[in-house]
Structure 1
Amino acid sequence: MASKNTTATKRADALRSIEAIVQAATECLGRNPEASLSEIARAAGVGRVTLYGHFASRAEVVDAAMSRAIDRGNEVLDTVDMTGDPRLALARYIETGWRLVDEARALLAAAQRELSAGRILELHAGPAARVEALVARGRAEGIFRTDLPVAWLVNVLHAVMHSAAEEIRAGRLTSERAADHITATVLAAFTPPGKAVPETGGGV
C-alpha cells in the first residue's frame, strides 16, 4: 500500500511539474519567442533537470505550449456563429480567429522556428475543420469559388492570418486594422472568378 501511495504521489508531482512548465512556456514564449529553457524553468519554479525529465528538447516544450494555446482557442472558436450567409460567417470567424492569433503572435513565431510545417498544420486541424465546413457550404450555395480545392482555400486563410502577424512585427500593420485587411483579402480570394468582390466593413 505504501508503495502504491508513493507512486501516486510521484505521478501527481510529475503532473504538477508538467502543468507548471507548459503554463510557464506559454507565458514566456508569449512574451518572447526566443525565451530560453532556463527562463521557462525558472518561471515554472523547477530546475532544468526537472524540465528535461519531462521534455527532451525545446521543440517539445514549444509544441506543448502551442497545443495548449490552440486547445483554448478552439473553446473560443466554438462560440462563433457559423450559420447564415457564409461571407458574414467567414467575417465573424476571422474577427475572432485573428484576436487569437494576435494574442499568440510571439508563441506562433516560436512554433514556426521549432516545429515542422506538417506539425503546425496538424495542430491547426481543429480551426481548419471549421473553415472547411464553411467553405464547403459556401461553395454549395454558389457564393465561394469551386475551381480551387477546399484545402487550398483554407490554407490561404491561415496563411493570410499568419502573414498579418508578420506584418505587425515588421511595423507595417496595426492589430486594430488587421482583421479588416484579412477579411478583404480572403473574401477576394474566395469569390468566384467573374463575380464582384463584396464590400467589407459594416456589411458584406
Structure 2
Amino acid sequence: MPAKQASTTGKRADAQRNIAAILDAATECLGRDPAASTSEIAKAAGVGRVTLYGHFPSRAELLDAVFVHAIEDGEEALAQVDLTGDPRDALTQLIESSWRLVDRYRSLLIAAQNTLPPGRVRELHADPMARVEKLIERGRKQGAFRKDLPTSWLVGVMHNVMHGAADEITAGRVTPDKAAAYITTTILAAFTPPGDRVPD
C-alpha cells in the first residue's frame, strides 16, 4: 500500500474512532444531564473541542447524531419483540419494551426536545411509529382495536403517552417502576372499541 494511501486510511480510522468516542461520551453525558455542554462531552470523549466541532459543527448536529444512534440501538431491541398472536398482548409487550428504551434515554430525549425542531424529533421516531401503526392496523382488522379514530391518531396517542410518562418521572410525580403499567392501562383503554370491555 502506498505511503499516502496508508496515511489517508489511518486518518479515516482515527476519525471513525473519534466519532465513536464522541457519540458514546455524548450519550453518557446527556444521559446524566440534558444540558451537558460540548466542552464536557469533548473532555469525556478524550478529544479537544476543535476535533469535536470538526465532526459536529454545532451542538444541535451532535444531538441529532446521538439521537439517531439511540434510535438505531432501540430498533435492534424492538425488532426482537414478538408481535404475532393477540394484538392486545402484542401491544402490551411492545409498550413494555418501548418504555424501557424511553426510560433509558429519557434525559437524552429532553435534550433533543430542547434543541431539535419538533418535526425532527418526530421524524426520527418514524421507524418505531411504523411498527406501532402496523400492529394497530392488524388489531383493527381483527376487531381488537377501535376503528372510529384514524390509525395515525392512535399512533400519536401512544407516542405522546410514552413521552408524557417520561416527563412525569422527571417531575417526580411517577416512579419508573410503575410507568409501564400506567402506560399499558392508558393505551389499552384508549384503543379498545367503544362499548367493549377494556382488558385487565
- TM-score using structure 1 length: 0.95
Question: Shift of residue 20 of structure 1?
Answer: 0.7
1:44-77: CA deviation from partner (whole Å, max 9, x where unpaired): 0000000000101101111111111111111111
Aligned-residue RMSD, C-alpha = 0.9
1:10-33: CA deviation from partner (whole Å, max 9, x where unpaired): 111111111110111011101110
Kindly report which structure 2 residues correspond to 1:84-123, keeping only aligned pairs within 5 A, or say none.
Answer: 84-123=85-124
Question: Shift of residue 195 of structure 1?
Answer: 2.0
Secondary structure of 2:42's counterpart equals helix
Q: Which runs of 5+ in 2 are unaligned?
A: none
Name 1:7's counterpart in structure 2.
8
Distance in 1 (CA, whole Å) between partners of 2:195 and 2:51 is 60
Name 1:61's counterpart in structure 2.
62
Which segment drifts farther, 5-14 or 157-166?
Answer: 5-14
Which segment drifts farther, 84-93 or 115-124?
Answer: 115-124
**Once the two structures are aligned, what percentage of the paired residues are identical?**
63
1:145-164: CA deviation from partner (whole Å, max 9, x where unpaired): 11221111111101101000
Question: Shift of residue 112 of structure 1?
Answer: 0.5
Number of residue equivalences: 199
Name 2:82's counterpart in structure 1.
81
Name 2:185's counterpart in structure 1.
184
Distance in 2 (CA, whole Å) between partners of 1:31 and 1:148 is 39
Distance in 1 (CA, whole Å) between partners of 2:71 and 2:107 is 14
Distance in 1 (CA, whole Å) between partners of 2:61 and 2:23 is 10
Distance in 2 (CA, whole Å) between partners of 1:117 and 1:84 is 34
Name 1:170's counterpart in structure 2.
171
Name 1:202's counterpart in structure 2.
none
Kindly report which structure 2 residues correspond to 1:8-27, keeping only aligned pairs within 5 A, or say none.
Answer: 8-27=9-28
Distance in 1 (CA, whole Å) between partners of 2:182 and 2:54 is 44
